[in-house]
Amino acid sequence: MEPIKEYPYQHRDINWLSFNDRVLQEAADQSNPLYERLKFIAIFSSNLDEYFRVRVSQLRQLKRVDKNLRKKLALRPSKFVKQLLKKVGEQQHQLGDIFFDQIVPELAANHIHLLTASKLKSDFSKEVAEYFKKNLKNKLDSQYVEASKSSDIFLKNQSLYFLVTFKNENRYGVVEIPSTEQDRFISLGQKDEEHYLCFLDDIIKLQLKNIFPDEEVVDSYSIKLSRDAELYLDQDLEGELADKIYESLQQRTDGQPTRFLYDERIPKEVIKNIRKSLGLGKIDMVSGGTYHNFHDFFGFPDPTDNEELHAPDLRTIEHKALHGKDYFDVIKQKDQLVHFPFMSFDYVQRFIDQSALDPKVEHIKISLYRVADESALTDSLLTALENGKKVTVFVEAKARFDEENNIKWGRIFEEHGATVIYSYPKIKVHSKVLLVLRKENGKLRRYAYIGTGNFNAKTSKIYCDHGLFTAHKGITKDLLRVFQVLEGDLIIPRAKHLLISPFTTRRTFEELIRREIDSAQSGKTAKITAKMNQLEDQGMINLLYKASQAGVEIRLIVRGFTCLVPGLEGISENIEMTSIVDRFLEHGRIYKFHNNGEPLIFMGSADWMSRNLDRRIEVLTPIYDNDVYLELDQILKIQLQDNIKARMHTPEEDNPMVDEEASDIVRSQQEIYKYLKKKHKHNS
């Protein structure tokens, strides 16, 4: 067979939209409880907002780069954005159909009525007037815009507004909908066991004559402007080209528009005029529905308190070895594995609590990627400082959308005596690691925690993650070297056990894949099983294609976007790839290699993306403890068998379900919970 000179790749931004399609599938799935479906609608909307602020923003800003450099990217940003907008438009219409044709009627069938403006006007005009007078009348920000003239009006990022048309066509009104200061969904009370709610938007819409008393109001339309997030091009582009582009742009952008979302009912002439007034381009304009910011449905109230409309509460599993015991004694004996959200984040918290109070503990080192605003974890680190312990905290100042809070906590730690290290230029620290140094019998003994998710109790309740507690001398020695790199005492960590990006991760994974290729070509069993959030790195994808061609059996679980195209004859027919979208966000990264019958498993913070392999500090740990290995391996096997919430990645990107007619029904999150509950059952 002749070698293939050019392999196929999906574009990450188009494939990401396929991921958001999977979220919409969950919103449409009538087997999900009603409020779970509303949650998926909110997730879809939140995802799309970030997509425009980050990914579309980056494409738009590439237009500002020198044209010769743009050619090297082999990308025409404007043309590509139009392609994305077409797909987004289709998704938004699908979202509207799901919401208005399915969700709203189902709410009504359960005695919860989300009323339209016309219904409010006919049946609740008195209640609307009273609410407006009491809560809104003197708090609304309204202004005028001259039609088709440049205007200095500023629309806040992601905020909701009404664009109001008047009989006087020479100007428009703009009024902000204060959905961040007020509840988005307003209760209008209860009648005969029926509960009535409305959008805050519609209360304002029915009172526009009181907001613009000198004008004859004709109509009003919802609008929203999304502005770009901070841009770090060097994280997504490589080598010298990335440096040149990086230097050609400001690191912190000026918040330019990336999407002007408007009610599709707006007359064309009005859109043309307002576009000119706001200084927007045609490519900025995206038509949508009557209501925007559906992410507010995260907080949609349930006045009925009907448990059947919600996912059942998850009763966390007590860890058999860690529950109520001295962590140092337990971890010293053998490694321990915890799983969120099936187990409580309290296991991590208690380890830090114990370390903060234990007189033998001398030093705590931790990397924080997203710091919770207020948390028991930050309190414990401050307690450790009060108790005279050394605390070293690495704070990632460039964690997107969490920069301000991370820096705030870094300063608090500094003020209390901690050694605080902030991110380096052009590199993020994404690892989720903790190291405790404890004096035992005159010597320092190391205890570590290495996880796939952030040190955040809130997200641990909705993200599926894993964490390893270990006192393994080799692993903890390598982790100490990671912190020495962060502290500037080492340039390159000589690691014998851990995979550490950007130093050893890529090289090790490549060697392991090539080993499977060699096995396959020798007629031996060869298998690769990997679970991750995204798959983008072309080097890794090329090796997976070559492994498939050699006969390696490859099974991938990729929750989000992927640039690899599975199932292509002669290229990737031995690669099967699925995505699991369920109640909890799949966030763990697990990699397994057959390795000539001596299988290896690694878990940690890194996806197979260029940034995770080459431009971030990432840590993945091998699993040496046999019991822990079997536990993690069984979880991976259950996820591979999912045929309820798993979709196939296909060349067509159409997200078909997996083996819907299979005799054994496997919904992996529920089965993993049952497995862990049985394994960690306490003998009493």
- Render pLDDT for 178-205 as a digit per residue (tens, 0 to 9): 998 889 999 999 999 999 999 999 999 9
Q: Which of 292, 430, 466, 472 is catalytic?
A: 430
Q: How far apart are CA 351 and CA 346, in angstroms?
A: 8
pLDDT at 333 over 90: yes
pLDDT of residue 251: 39
Q: How far apart are CA 272 and CA 277, in angstroms?
A: 9
Q: How far apart are CA 456 and CA 403, in angstroms?
A: 15
pLDDT grade for 553, boundaries at 50, 70 and 90: very high
Mean pLDDT of 77-88: 81
The closest alpha carbon to 382, from 405, 404, 366, 399, belongs to 366
pLDDT of residue 246: 42
Q: What are phi and psi of 576, to 5 degrees?
A: -110, 130
Which residue is it, tokens 């004096």?
439
What percent of the chain clears pLDDT 90, i.e. is strictly above it?
69
Host H or E run for residue 437: strand 432-440
pLDDT grade for 235, boundaries at 50, 70 and 90: very low
Quick check: 622 and 602 in contact, CB under 8 A?
yes
Encode pLDDT of 317-332 as tens digits: 999 999 878 999 999 9
* Burial class of 422 by CB neighbour count within 10 A (0 to 12, 13 to 18, 19+): middle
Give the total residue count for the chain: 684
pLDDT of residue 1: 47
Strands (E), 452-517: 463-470, 499-501
Instruction: Specify the range with the lowest mean pLDDT, choosing from 407-411, 511-515, 647-651.
Output: 407-411
The reply to whether 463 sits in an annotated binding site is yes
Answer yes or no: 295 catalytic: no
CATH of 501-679, one of 2.60.120.330, 3.40.630.10, 3.30.870.10, 3.30.1490.20: 3.30.870.10
pLDDT of residue 629: 98
Q: How far apart are CA 74 and CA 145, in angstroms?
A: 40
Q: How far apart are CA 187 and CA 180, in angstroms?
A: 17
Structure tokens that stand for 283 in this block:
């490519």
pTM for the whole structure: 0.90
pLDDT of residue 64: 56
Instruction: Specify the range with the lowest mean pLDDT, choosing from 228-242, 599-613, 669-683.
Output: 228-242
Strands (E), 63-151: 112-115, 142-146
Q: How far apart are CA 592 and CA 109, in angstroms?
A: 48
pLDDT of residue 376: 87
pLDDT at 365 over 50: yes
Q: What is the CATH number of domain 327-497?
A: 3.30.870.10
Query: How far from 125 is each of 117, 149, 193, CA to CA, in Å?
Result: 10, 36, 20
Q: Which residues contact 295 (CB under 8 A, 6 or more apart)?
A: 42, 43, 45, 46, 49
Q: Which residues contact 325 (CB under 8 A, 6 or more apart)?
A: none
Q: How far apart are CA 459 and CA 341, in angstroms?
A: 9
Give CATH 3.30.1840.10 domain extents, the chain.
32-304
Mean pLDDT of 259-282: 89
The reply to whether 370 sits in an annotated binding site is yes
Mean pLDDT of 424-443: 86
Query: How far from 201 is each of 119, 136, 154, 207, 303, CA to CA, in Å?
Result: 14, 11, 20, 10, 20
Q: How far apart are CA 644 and CA 10, in angstroms?
A: 25
The reply to whether 400 sits in an annotated binding site is yes
The closest alpha carbon to 319, from 641, 627, 92, 13, belongs to 627
Mean pLDDT of 398-416: 70
The reply to whether 47 sits in an annotated binding site is yes
Give CATH 3.30.870.10 domain extents, the chain.
327-497, 501-679
Per the prediction, the chain carries an average pLDDT of 89
Q: What are phi and psi of 171, to 5 degrees?
A: -155, 165
DSSP structure class, residue 234: G
pLDDT grade for 306, boundaries at 50, 70 and 90: very high
| 112-115, strands of its sheet edge to edge | 112-115, 194-199, 185-191
Q: What angle do CA 97, 102, 105 make, to 5 degrees?
A: 125
Quick check: 395 and 410 in contact, CB under 8 A?
yes
| 285-288, strands of its sheet edge to edge | 142-146, 171-177, 160-166, 217-227, 257-263, 285-288
Q: How far apart are CA 13 and CA 29, in angstroms?
A: 25
pLDDT grade for 243, boundaries at 50, 70 and 90: very low
Instruction: Specify the range with the lowest mean pLDDT, choosing from 40-54, 227-241, 296-310.
Output: 227-241
Structure tokens that stand for 364 in this block:
């705590």
DSSP structure class, residue 589: E
What is the third-level CATH fold of 32-304?
polyphosphate kinase like (3.30.1840)
Q: What are phi and psi of 242, to 5 degrees?
A: -60, -40
Q: Which residues contact 391 (CB under 8 A, 6 or more apart)?
A: 363, 364, 365, 366, 381, 384, 385, 413, 417, 418, 419
Which residue is it, tokens 């958001």?
20
Mean pLDDT of 291-296: 94
Mean pLDDT of 36-60: 87
Q: What angle do CA 555, 453, 670 make, to 5 degrees?
A: 60
Structure tokens that stand for 436 in this block:
């405790």
- Cβ atoms < 10 Å from Cβ of 191: 10
pLDDT of residue 240: 46
pLDDT at 70 over 90: no
Q: How far apart are CA 246 and CA 58, in angstroms?
A: 12
Encode pLDDT of 91-118 as tens digits: 999 999 999 999 999 999 999 999 999 9
Q: What angle do CA 254, 46, 165 make, to 5 degrees?
A: 70
Mean pLDDT of 569-589: 97
pLDDT of residue 146: 86
Host H or E run for residue 67: helix 67-72
From first CA to last CA, the distance across the chain in angstroms is 63
Host H or E run for residue 566: none
pLDDT at 653 over 80: yes
The closest alpha carbon to 410, from 427, 388, 391, 394, belongs to 394
pLDDT at 37 over 70: yes
Q: How far apart are CA 508 and CA 514, in angstroms?
A: 10
Encode pLDDT of 528-543 as tens digits: 999 999 999 999 999 9
Which residues pair with residue 394 across a beta bridge? 367, 421
pLDDT of residue 61: 62
The closest alpha carbon to 227, from 250, 251, 260, belongs to 260
Q: What are phi and psi of 6, to 5 degrees?
A: -140, 115
pLDDT grade for 390, boundaries at 50, 70 and 90: very high
Instruction: Tell me, letter by letter, the H, E, C secondary structure of 40-65.
Output: HHHHHHHHHHHHHHHHHHHHHHHCCC
Strand pairing of 575-580 and 553-558?
parallel
The reply to whether 675 sits in an annotated binding site is no
Host H or E run for residue 372: none
The closest alpha carbon to 112, from 313, 307, 306, belongs to 306
